[in-house]
Structure 1
């Protein structure tokens, strides 16, 4: 690790201990709220890691440091006896009882483990892996909708978070577009990557690993939805970079798009009820696809595959589609977005939109030095979201870009080959 990165880690540890010099006291409020009041044993890892990463990110933890801290704290949590946190079991005839834990006390213990690890590292910082992270840009807005039901995950530190040491670099990114509430999207964002990390075929057959991870996540959410009487659903688009391979997996109409040499490369076909094979699948099961302002499954949902939506299973399927391709090394970036973006932006428009945005602000996160006069810098993702909204989108919009080559190189190569009218437009 470079000296400045090590100093950044030490500076964070010092400031964290200034805020949390001692263990959190019983009965007091937690510094960050758990996702759920009760969690099953299977849900504990996802909910704990989400809680820890959220706490650390809000306090400026370097991403790799945050992932390693959470992994170490959760490993210690599992060494404790958690039976004092068990809830009274509710037994339903014909069903196996599910052991549930009270979230507040068990997450207080997890956060105290996290504080202990920070104290240890503050005295003796372990050697941290040097792994150059891809430049990313993400922006999400509620838009004109009453609630924000999108969620997203950016996890360049997949291996660090799950303690994988096989030497294969991995990074995970996902966008979840909820409907009928945010519960399914929040659940998927907390648990899909955890389920994926546990798959034995993660390296040998990532497509199968993703399909199993989606099914497991949907099954877990079914239990939570039944316990808490939840009715929501969520589409999902998730990608895993693993060595030189890129695996894309999806449910519903959120999409991923690869750009190579300034040209869009199709990676997938979104699941929509009017898609001929989806319509046939639904009708073969005894359902129907009808037009009610848009095409809907059995007159209800406008998506044909999703996490949740259990009142319309199996017509709304939780079986994910997957595709894996070998990266050639000349890819520009990957874009993930929900249908709120793609409803008004065609995939073929994306390369020019991104190039224009980069010309306006070469820092994709929009955190570079602002000009001496004039408005502050706006990130690439913000500009794409604003374009989709101006083009007529009224839905929640989430856009995420993962850049796969240096931005200077991307700009130079594209400007050299761009048509003159595009270059003129970029200068405006």
Structure 2
């Protein structure tokens, strides 16, 4: 069955972008084409190529104002063109060219409050790993493929699949008072298009990753976790299991990279797959999600923190300890008990994610995904009140709701990076209701 052409207004905006951008391409400088943005990693292994190329393309198109409804389809087409012409042998690095991220970054990340002052020494870098690819040269090739694809589509447009999303999704992130921004967030409203998933129900994916000790782990998770989710053999039949395994696989792959490059960073995360009338939430660490139904905040998860009794017991059973040094810390060092990365603290810092299936019954108003920069200073009830008041007072409705939440967290004393994603199921919201202790919605407790 041929895909529906979709919304005519989206079709028009997509064709306008193709024409405008195709005309701009020839005026770009060599530097604009070769280094459109700064890379976090400078070498890749072959298994990372698809995820990195898709992310680079999505990022480049977004920077150039590509309509959101076109980004995924164009990204998949660019990767297909890139893959068809790819000869990886020309991109392999010579052994002497391999280096760690820190070797290139003279503005090294400061130690943050999740970490002790421990760093990787040169001797920690594994130079005996698999052959590695030059990420900078690969990026240049991807940019060339983007330009050639846009020019081709402008001349001979394909069938543009531009279905308007039934979800309204807004995001905002700030560095705040921290010296570096180590958060990453992911918005993929059309997962099927990005991964060319045929005969699948409509699926969307959103995530927030809160990095610490450097941004490499958060960047890696934001680039690869959804790819590991989609490629898991249980993705179609058991998304919960696929979600937890995606976190585990991402951790395994990142630890391999960390060993090769001497990286020490880690990241917590929270992610959601929305598939028709069901939602699958996965989380690792203290990044959290809040679901609001008919004006009531609903507890759908419990964050992983060292002070939780079950987490403390797990860590102690492995031979570690949890100490209070301003905050509760694993082995007196790191203030999260589960995360991707954090190689020096494995196995005490686990990558075993939790996941839950939530049926969507029509009472859901919105979902908030955020890092602890928000949740450490705002309660679920405060978040619910802020969202509702903003929706009623703003002439733009909920358009700036994520900005409003970030501002409220900063004004409430948060000094951390703050990242927020708001997924709205409805445009009209109910007045907030006080959460009654012990009440249950969908088998989940309401919270205050």
Bin of the TM-score, shorter chain as denominator length: 0.7 to 0.9
CA pair 180-27 structure 1, distance change in 2 beyond 3 A: closer
Q: Distance in 1 between matches of 2:47 and 2:27?
A: 29
2:103 matched residue in structure 1? none
Q: Distance in 2 between matches of 1:354 and 1:259?
A: 10
Q: Distance in 2 between matches of 1:340 and 1:188?
A: 19
Q: Any idea what SS the aligned residue of 1:282 has?
A: helix
Is residue 86 from structure 1 mapped to residue 118 from structure 2 by the alignment? Answer: no
1:318 matched residue in structure 2? 351
Is residue 383 from structure 1 mapped to residue 414 from structure 2 by the alignment? Answer: no
Residues 285-324 of structure 1 correspond to what in structure 2 (within 5 A)?
A: 285-324=318-357
CA pair 141-27 structure 1, distance change in 2 beyond 3 A: closer
Is residue 398 from structure 1 mapped to residue 419 from structure 2 by the alignment? Answer: yes
Q: Any idea what SS the aligned residue of 2:431 has?
A: helix
* Aligned residues: CA RMSD: 2.4
Per-residue deviation, residues 23-46 of structure 1 (Å, max 9, x unmatched)? 997997333344321111111112
CA pair 144-26 structure 1, distance change in 2 beyond 3 A: closer
> What TM-score comes out, normalization by structure 1 length?
0.88
Runs of 5+ unmatched residues, structure 1: 367-378, 419-428
Is residue 43 from structure 1 mapped to residue 48 from structure 2 by the alignment? Answer: yes
Q: Distance in 2 between matches of 1:237 and 1:350?
A: 17
Q: Any idea what SS the aligned residue of 1:164 has?
A: coil
Q: Distance in 1 between matches of 2:26 and 2:38?
A: 20
1:98 matched residue in structure 2? 130
> What TM-score comes out, normalization by structure 2 length?
0.84
Residues 152-301 of structure 1 correspond to what in structure 2 (within 5 A)?
A: 152-301=185-334
> Which protein, 1 or 2, shows the higher relative CO under an 8 Å CA cutoff with sep ≥ 6?
2
Q: Any idea what SS the aligned residue of 1:414 has?
A: coil
CA pair 120-182 structure 1, distance change in 2 beyond 3 A: same
Report how far residue 128 of structure 1 moved: 2.2
Q: Distance in 1 between matches of 2:224 and 2:257?
A: 12
Q: Any idea what SS the aligned residue of 1:270 has?
A: coil
1:356 matched residue in structure 2? 389
Is residue 131 from structure 1 mapped to residue 163 from structure 2 by the alignment? Answer: yes
Report how far residue 254 of structure 1 moved: 0.6
Runs of 5+ unmatched residues, structure 2: 1-5, 99-123, 435-448
Q: Distance in 1 between matches of 2:419 and 2:28?
A: 37
Q: Distance in 1 between matches of 2:40 and 2:194?
A: 19
Report how far residue 189 of structure 1 moved: 0.9
2:431 matched residue in structure 1? 414
1:144 matched residue in structure 2? 177
Report how far residue 292 of structure 1 moved: 0.4
Equivalent in 74, 77, 99 of residue 72 of structure 1: 77
Equivalent in 359, 365, 368 of residue 332 of structure 1: 365
Q: Is the 8 A contact 2:391 2:398 kept in 1?
A: no
Q: Is the 8 A contact 2:185 2:208 kept in 1?
A: yes
